């Protein structure tokens, strides 16, 4: 293989540089529009903008929706449960990071 002729693919870091529309987020995660709308209704995701056409989701939504899908599929959790689980997971992450900082002080 000739290294000098390789093409190196580049792309943005989603969490820092990417914003999704409603449909882009469906495509990126494989979630159905109905499913995503349900989660938004429950406040599991909080897009900027008024109404589906104007909605913009930050890059971190990718991860959130993927977790929501896995929990829905594997544990059959409904939309309200998903919103609660995602909030609790965020809280656990925050507490873990804080615990680490305290332990290292």
Partner 1 sequence: MKYKDYYETLGLPRTATQDDIKRTYRKLARKYHPDLSKLGDAEERFKEVGEAYKVLKDTEKRAAYDRIGDQWHNGQDFQPPPRWDEGFEFSGAGHDESEQAQFSDFFESLFGVDRDARMAQDRGGARGDTPYAIPGQDHHAKVVIDLEDAYRGVQRSITLDTPVLDAKGRVTVQSRTLNVSIPKGVREGQHVRLAGQGGAGLGQGRAGDLYLEIGFRDHAHFRVTGRDVSIDVPVAPWEAALGARIMVPTPDGTVEITVPQGSGGGRRLRLKGKGIPGTPPGDLYAHLNIVLPPADSDSARASYESMRQAFTFDPRAHFASDSS
Which lies closer to partner 1 via its Cβ, residue 16 or residue 51?
Answer: 16
Decide: residue 30, CB within 10 A, 0-12 exposed, 13-18 middle, 19+ buried: exposed
| Distance spanning both ends of the chain, measured CA to CA | 50
Minimum gap (Å) between residue 50 Cβ and partner 1: 26
Which lies closer to partner 1 via its Cβ, residue 17 or residue 50?
Answer: 17
Residue from 16, 34, 53, 102 touching partner 1 (CB under 8 A): that is: 16
Does position 74 bind partner 1 by CB under 8 A?
yes
Which lies closer to partner 1 via its Cβ, residue 7 or residue 50?
Answer: 7
Residues in the chain: 105
Helix or strand (DSSP H, E) at 20: strand 19-20
């Amino acid at each position: 293989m000739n290294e000098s002729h390789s093409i190196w693919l580049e792309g943005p870091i989603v969490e820092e540089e990417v914003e999704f529309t409603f449909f882009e987020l469906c495509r990126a995660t494989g979630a159905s529009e109905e499913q995503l709308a349900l989660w938004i209704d429950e406040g599991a995701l909080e897009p900027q903008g008024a109404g589906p056409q104007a909605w913009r989701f930050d890059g971190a939504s990718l991860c959130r929706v993927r977790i929501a899908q896995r929990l829905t599929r594997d544990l059959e959790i409904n939309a309200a449960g998903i919103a609660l689980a995602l909030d609790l997971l965020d809280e656990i992450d925050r507490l873990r990071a804080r615990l680490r900082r305290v332990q290292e002080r």
